[in-house]
Structure 1
């Protein structure tokens, strides 16, 4: 059932208070007006805090700056004519004691009336005492079909000719933006349009600006591909087999979109690098979630932020959503000091992971498996859980090769990779890279080219992180032996 049908049903069945979540006030009001004109004979009254009531010349500016008076106006409208009252941003006043009491009184007094009260708001912020009175529905952002119709209308008005394929591509690219933003963006694109312009890249920049303003997600630049990662053969093969999973061909084949992967292992084993490489390998935008920004000080705001994060990710789909160090945010330890906020956010996130249909591929990373909640590890949350162990000697050789080819693309073969690999047991990929950088620093200070011996000296001065994190490594190796996680590498000694 689409939104219009759902709202029509609620109005017919006399739901008194209908709480509508929307970021597009103008678009929802246009839909309400069209629906009332086509299917009902109701009179519409609009109210906002600054201008009071609008829509009827007899009551212009009534109840300005007075939300309680706005409700009293509804109570005193005794005529039998069906009426629709649209209250803009009224959720801001619903926590006042007098407003709560008035709404509860109205719910009893007007129970059998022919009135409906629609509350338009951007946030879900209903007091506990009113939760059983309000019916909440969400007005989604425009579909690709709606965007396509709007683009055709705009291009006709502006007398601009685009091919039908380009219009369809633009409609897909604009998915996730409100209609008003699409209108402004199209006018901007057309006014500066040149044949050599890539309009789809310009639209991506528009999306980046919107997501940046939320301060929850960020478009993350990526430059690495899977070939830049040494080792991790099982993970690479798993990803390569799914490289076309978001294409129309896969959809027509009936293949469901993959949910995501959870990458566990100590720091420096390539988890974050893998997230960036997946995005480039699959040619999908990479969104990074800062988990810390989900949690706010105001009661209810954290839950609102996680819903916004989900909405933004789905609006930008198909995409890769990278959640770094998820174990720090959703640890298995109980926390009674946040009044259950972490648990509510976690439940909302878990539900979305299990039930999401949109093509958002989640890449979550975790350093310490001991802190992961069991619910997160259950099958169905992620397609696969990969354990990124410390690299074996063959993989260390590959990692040295990758980094030395990057630093010295013409002379990398002059370095003794076999010896360097043999003396770095227990080193992570990040520590191997750092040993090369330290060797380069030494040689640069001495004003000469760096050699194998410089790297060896740097290695001898290193204390690998793995020496202090044996508990985590041992536990992950035990999980791998039990089949609870899948090895990211083909040949790791357990």
Structure 2
């Protein structure tokens, strides 16, 4: 059941119970009014006296819209309501966007007295506001929080809008496209969503590619999100060499990310934790996923959220994760997650509380936020973060093997030298780059491309490229102990991101399990 349907059911029950004060809290005034009008249209409410007050129109009959007086002021509306509650049983008055009722002030106390008067004669006050109410008012009645439309309700809005415009403009969207559009628009008000759809229609047609454009609109709508930084993904960042197993796994998750999961117990993919050798493409993978999946990419900087006051860090993280839910579907990149969630030796307890809050969101959120977390020092991460079921999978990104290095060399050679290497040169570079991370290969070929640019017109000598590789000193040689320690951990405890090792009959064989065959 959608939140709107639940709110309507709650409103019906509160009106039937003659609750004296009912508050409907929502930033969507029109949608909240529709909730009230649908309640008033119920045949069971046919004899129920209903009036509504707004600043622009004053007090009117809710059903006929006929004005009740020329006084459009708030005090005049209060006096009218008091008269009705005193003289007509079961009267209901709706106040839209009333004066500030968030604390103990004269307006709040006036409404409280009015609610007591309504209660004495089975009347009800309905307050439609986007602000919290003073606790003294809350104790007098019940409250309803009308959330923004969920995916199901947003689909109904889109379907109705497209139905109204079929035959007016060409519409290429099918049901799947409309449901994807609904996912993109979750988190924005209904009126804003209709404005976006109307803007698309003004182009003269509704095309399939317009679904993807909704992500860019949503980014503009939310602007600067709390704790999140929008990362623009360049076209050349969408390609990653090597990591065959990881890429195949991501292809399957992408299909699930796009699937309609209604009617199933499945949830959208939660994300992936990438650990391994620095410079081997973990951070680049986040950009590549966002680019290939055509989703916006946001970076969550956990270290920057740490505040000096008690509860400040937790509040910032909560706001950021709530914002991520609103902006979904998206890719959420947490680079070097250990810097923000390494809380085992934290005497303040902030790190442990952040871990708990993040894990709760990771476990319970059902929004289409795909988390890509990277770590270079996985040993400092809390063990509960590594437990199966937190992230969808834990991948270890190792130094590329010869086949992966060949793919990476071809990728960056084409990018910086703008041509394909010869087969002979490629073989030499693959051999010279043993122990290189992907970033080492990129750095060497970037230097080659820079020299080629500075010496425009000069012929590129293969010897120069070989020399650039020979003069590159990778981290695996400058700090072999650290790299060996990382590789030892990852090979034993995580799924390899590269291509799986091929089995062969040569070499030592492991003893097989004993199988007992029972004969007749």
Please indicate the TM-score interval, normalised by the length of the shorter structure.
0.7 to 0.9
Q: Distance in 1 between matches of 2:422 and 2:412?
A: 12
Matched with 2:495 is 486
Superposed displacement of residue 369, structure 1: 1.6
Q: Deviations over 1:388-447 (max 9, x none)?
A: 123344433432232223334544126634444444454321122012212333455456
Superposed displacement of residue 385, structure 1: 0.9
Select 1:456's aligned residue among 439, 455, 467: 467
Superposed displacement of residue 380, structure 1: 1.9
Superposed displacement of residue 361, structure 1: 3.0
Query: CA contact under 8 A between 1:263 and 1:364: conserved in structure 2?
Result: yes
Matched with 1:260 is 271
Superposed displacement of residue 474, structure 1: 1.9
Matched with 1:140 is 148
Query: CA contact under 8 A between 2:271 and 2:371: conserved in structure 1?
Result: yes
Stretch deviating more after TM superposition (228-237 or 392-401): 392-401
Report the TM-score when normalising by structure 1: 0.73
Select 2:233's aligned residue among 204, 216, 221: 221
Q: Distance in 1 between matches of 2:231 and 2:51?
A: 42
Q: Which has the larger radius of gyration?
A: 2
1:375 aligns with 2:384: yes
Superposed displacement of residue 180, structure 1: 2.0
Structure 1 unmatched ranges of 5 or more: none
**Cα distance, 1:101–1:353 mapped onto 2, change above 3 Å:** same
Stretch deviating more after TM superposition (371-380 or 126-135): 126-135
Superposed displacement of residue 250, structure 1: 8.4
Matched with 2:35 is 31
1:185 aligns with 2:200: no
Matched with 1:435 is 444
Q: Deviations over 1:118-145 (max 9, x none)?
A: 46338xx789999999756342324202
**Cα distance, 1:249–1:214 mapped onto 2, change above 3 Å:** closer
Q: Distance in 1 between matches of 2:114 and 2:359?
A: 34
Query: CA contact under 8 A between 1:284 and 1:320: conserved in structure 2?
Result: no
Query: CA contact under 8 A between 1:16 and 1:107: conserved in structure 2?
Result: no
Superposed displacement of residue 288, structure 1: 1.9
Q: Deviations over 1:314-357 (max 9, x none)?
A: xxx3x5443434333433257788x96x7776555433322344
Matched with 2:295 is 285
1:389 aligns with 2:389: no
Query: CA contact under 8 A between 2:215 and 2:296: conserved in structure 1?
Result: no
Stretch deviating more after TM superposition (408-417 or 270-279): 408-417
**Cα distance, 1:206–1:5 mapped onto 2, change above 3 Å:** closer
Matched with 1:151 is 162
Q: Distance in 2 between matches of 1:469 and 1:42?
A: 82
Superposed displacement of residue 229, structure 1: 2.6
Q: Distance in 2 between matches of 1:146 and 1:23?
A: 18
Alignment of 1:164-175 (within 5 A): 165=173, 169-170=177-178, 172-174=180-182, 175=185
Superposed displacement of residue 387, structure 1: 1.5
Report the TM-score when normalising by structure 2: 0.70
Select 1:276's aligned residue among 273, 284, 287: 287
Superposed displacement of residue 192, structure 1: 3.2
Q: Deviations over 1:266-321 (max 9, x none)?
A: 4321112222333454x4423323446878999656534432321221xxx3x544
> What value does the CA root-mean-square deviation take over the aligned residues?
4.9
Q: Distance in 1 between matches of 2:390 and 2:418?
A: 41
Structure 2 counterpart SS, 1:244: helix
Structure 2 counterpart SS, 1:245: helix
Q: Distance in 2 between matches of 1:35 and 1:436?
A: 69
1:83 aligns with 2:83: no
**Cα distance, 1:8–1:185 mapped onto 2, change above 3 Å:** closer
Matched with 1:2 is 2
**Cα distance, 1:195–1:302 mapped onto 2, change above 3 Å:** closer
Structure 2 counterpart SS, 1:412: coil
